[in-house]
Structure 1
Amino acid sequence: MGIVGCYLMPHPPIMVPEVGRDEARKVDKSIEAASEVGREIRDLKPDTLVLISPHGPVFQDAVCIYDFPLKGSLASFGAPEVRLKFEPDEELKKEIIERAGRTGIPVVKSSSVRLSRYGMREELDHGAMVPLYFITQHAKDFKLLPLAFGMLPYEDLYAFGRVIRESADALGKNVVVVASGDLSHRLTPDAPAGFNPQGRAFDEKLVSILEGFDLEALYNLDPALVEKAGECGLRSIWIMLGALDGLSVNSRVLSYEGPFGVGYCVARFRPEGKAESWVEKFYQKRSEKIKMRREKEDIYVKLARQSLETYVKTGRVMEVPEDLPREMLEQRAGVFVSIKKHGQLRGCIGTIMPTRRNIAEEIIKNAISAGCEDPRFFPVEPEELPELIYSVDVLTPPEPIDSPDKLDPKKYGVIVKRGNRTGLLLPDLEGIDTVEEQINIALRKAGIRPDESYELFRFEVIRHH
């Protein structure tokens, strides 16, 4: 009883013959491997299949468990005849939600959220439908528990996977976990997300990690490589692997191909016995990373951190320390303070031109604003402070330019301006590799259409970590 098998499956609708028709032959390897998964699941006879989709209600701060009638179709992909319907496992759903709550992992039911507000319908998405299509060709007698991963830290997603396993054990159920997800969407020049040579490198690395079930290597994946790959399956994989925590695993990659510029991988993970748990190891590694970062932070970053910590804990704005370097006390400049939590942006506020008496005051004010006044986020809570990472960018005065040719996204930040609408993007940001990307993002921030006329400015920064 418990987790009897885990699988990674891709979800391109073109794999489904009723959708892809002749084009489906280009993914024969994935189709055959998906069919093999269906046959294996039939033989495992699970009580319940837990499926993790990247195309359901994905929220920034919580895993979302589907809580609507479990039915769907591929009508939006030209195949209305492909319809599936499942019985939910309410018992397992309740157990997982209760255990996750005790563990401190945020989980919501879709019924507690107005999905229409996010442009979503209460039906199985194609991230669920495509794997289930191939599974139900062979296995039918199981209940379904679908969910969408949240944009939570990998450690929390892995721990949530562990919750799934503990819940299955507690209820004495045989459970199969399926991670729905594609790998890089940037393998070729005609790929849907554009081409990036790192896409192929990411896929090769991840496929190797899965084949060897190398959790250490998975944890150490370069975040910049992940960002450049444009993948959609990594978080599904983290939850699935967490469901195998404390178990020895026989892993095998059944197929990999990328004929449409997107990487499709089918893999099997079969538990075979007991092994050591990685949950606490991952949390310890995270704490060590933050500690090492704090030990290396320079005086600019330290001031930003102390400023926000003082304000959140006491409600007061700290005084400027007297022992700062002279340039922080005597020079003036625009400053941006960026805050991240577990690799995700938690706040970023800055000033293009100086507004305070010196750089130190600019940092203190903007650090508080980034943590407590960024309209995209709730204000930072005291319990979050130990998890935050800061960076400080000191800006040179912006200079007007007459052509995008004078920009370099690694060296220069960009400002676009039309009337009182202004958009800014800092230089050397992960995932921003071209001038076109840089300008387009700045235009969106300013609410300026690309076909409108606008002024261009560039600036440099001194970045402090």
Structure 2
Amino acid sequence: MLVAAAACPCPPLLVPEVAAGAAPELDAARAACADALGVLAAARPDRLVVVGPAERGGRHPQGAPGSFRGFGVDVDVTLGPAARTAPGPELPVSLAVAAWLLERSGWAQAPVEGVAVDTALPAERCAGLGAEIAGGSDRVALLVMGDGSACRTLKAPGYLDERAAPFDTGAARALGGADLGALAALDAGLARELQASGRAPWQVLAGAAEGAGLDGTLLYDEAPYGVGYLVAAWS
């Protein structure tokens, strides 16, 4: 059963070495992510599942490696507090950012596993995946990674789209209010056009939280660099 959840953005720029001189611009986002992880730790889960968008879905065990070398910095991470014990694929960027956040927080409360979610996964399959993750009698916490639209300004990665701000407003309201119906109703086609990578992971969260009775709090809602970054905690 799901006992707590945190939603965090997943730009590599959260890692100060990647952001370099611009690192202070996301200090507030990093602080909000730390607060959200504190909510997960306080729930004392039996296991933590990290869900993040990727080009291809798949599972990643505790100790799976990730890297930000592709962004020009010598920073490596592992998923959870364990050395890599078996060969396997590297973490997608979203899960690597999550691994960095967990390492930064000193996470040691529960075992960790990662689930990469195909950004094109239909809503009903997202919901089914969430229900599968939260099923059973153990206490599960979710760390859900994903960004809002990337079309908030003229200089945004996806240029300016007038639909972007309303989409992000709706997503922020749904995450802050733990509104499962609103998350489940997010339009996959519109999210794809707006380059909103959080749509599928948020719908996994909605499926996992069905019947859990969690309340939500929105901790951060900004659009630096024209991309919507949202942080929320559910408990």
Into which bin does the TM-score normalised by the smaller protein fall? 0.7 to 0.9
Counterpart among 112, 125, 145 of residue 144 in structure 1: 112
8 Å CA contact 1:34–1:131 kept in 2: the answer is: no
8 Å CA contact 1:191–1:262 kept in 2: the answer is: yes
1:266 is aligned to 2:234: no
Aligned equivalent of 2:153: 188
Aligned equivalent of 1:243: 208
Quick one: which amino acid aligns to residue 234 of structure 1?
Answer: R
SS in 2 for 1:79: coil
Aligned equivalent of 1:27: 26
How many residues in Structure 1 have an aligned counterpart in Structure 2?
229
8 Å CA contact 2:184–2:206 kept in 1: the answer is: no
Alignment deviations for residues 4-61 of structure 1 (CA, whole Å, 9 cap, x no partner): 2111111111111222133122222211101112333333333322111212623xxx
Counterpart among 47, 65, 68 of residue 59 in structure 2: 65
8 Å CA contact 1:255–1:267 kept in 2: the answer is: yes
1:122 is aligned to 2:89: yes
Shift of 1:69: 5.7
SS in 1 for 2:213: strand
1:157 is aligned to 2:157: no
8 Å CA contact 2:62–2:111 kept in 1: the answer is: no
Query: Matches of 1:49 and 1:203 in 2, distance apart?
Result: 26
Q: CA RMSD in A?
A: 2.4
Shift of 1:257: 0.9
Shift of 1:85: 4.7
TM-score of the two chains, using structure 1 as the length reference: 0.46
8 Å CA contact 2:176–2:218 kept in 1: the answer is: yes
Alignment deviations for residues 232-278 of structure 1 (CA, whole Å, 9 cap, x no partner): 111001111211111212101110111111111011111xxxxxxxx
Query: Matches of 2:51 and 2:199 in 1, distance apart?
Result: 11
SS in 1 for 2:215: strand
Kindly tell me: are residues 200 and 4 of structure 1, through their superposed partners in 2, closer, same or farther at Cα, counting changes over 3 Å? same
8 Å CA contact 2:51–2:115 kept in 1: the answer is: yes
Query: Matches of 2:164 and 2:179 in 1, distance apart?
Result: 20
Query: Matches of 1:65 and 1:223 in 2, distance apart?
Result: 22
Alignment of 1:358-373 (within 5 A): none
Which of the pair has the greater relative contact order for Cα pairs under 8 Å at 6+ separation?
A: 2
Query: Matches of 2:107 and 2:71 in 1, distance apart?
Result: 23
Shift of 1:223: 5.4
Quick one: which amino acid aligns to residue 41 of structure 1?
Answer: L
Single out whichever of 177-186 and 150-159 deviates more from structure 2. Answer: 150-159
8 Å CA contact 1:178–1:240 kept in 2: the answer is: no
Kindly tell me: are residues 144 and 68 of structure 1, through their superposed partners in 2, closer, same or farther at Cα, counting changes over 3 Å? closer
Alignment deviations for residues 265-304 of structure 1 (CA, whole Å, 9 cap, x no partner): 011111xxxxxxxxxxxxxxxxxxxxxxxxxxxxxxxxxx
Kindly tell me: are residues 247 and 27 of structure 1, through their superposed partners in 2, closer, same or farther at Cα, counting changes over 3 Å? same
Counterpart among 62, 75, 81 of residue 69 in structure 2: 75
Task: Name which one, 1 or 2, has greater alpha-carbon Rg.
Answer: 1
8 Å CA contact 2:6–2:40 kept in 1: the answer is: no
Kindly tell me: are residues 16 and 161 of structure 1, through their superposed partners in 2, closer, same or farther at Cα, counting changes over 3 Å? same
Alignment deviations for residues 136-183 of structure 1 (CA, whole Å, 9 cap, x no partner): 22243232211122433212211221111113x2xx3x3211111001
Aligned equivalent of 2:17: 18
Query: Matches of 2:13 and 2:49 in 1, distance apart?
Result: 23
Alignment of 1:333-344 (within 5 A): none
8 Å CA contact 2:152–2:164 kept in 1: the answer is: yes
Query: Matches of 1:17 and 1:179 in 2, distance apart?
Result: 21
Query: Matches of 1:67 and 1:33 in 2, distance apart?
Result: 26
Stretches of structure 2 lacking an aligned partner (at least 5 in a row): none
Quick one: which amino acid aligns to residue 117 of structure 2?
Answer: F
8 Å CA contact 2:5–2:40 kept in 1: the answer is: no
Query: Matches of 1:42 and 1:217 in 2, distance apart?
Result: 26
Shift of 1:221: 4.0
Alignment deviations for residues 173-225 of structure 1 (CA, whole Å, 9 cap, x no partner): x3211111001011111111222111111101111122222333334445564
SS in 1 for 2:140: strand
Query: Matches of 2:209 and 2:19 in 1, distance apart?
Result: 34
Quick one: which amino acid aligns to residue 5 of structure 1?
Answer: A
Counterpart among 158, 164, 170 of residue 205 in structure 1: 170
Kindly tell me: are residues 40 and 69 of structure 1, through their superposed partners in 2, closer, same or farther at Cα, counting changes over 3 Å? closer
Query: Matches of 1:139 and 1:164 in 2, distance apart?
Result: 24
Q: Sequence identity, in percent?
A: 26
Query: Matches of 1:5 and 1:179 in 2, distance apart?
Result: 11
Quick one: which amino acid aligns to residue 137 of structure 1?
Answer: R
1:48 is aligned to 2:66: no
1:135 is aligned to 2:134: no
Quick one: which amino acid aligns to residue 16 of structure 2?
Answer: P
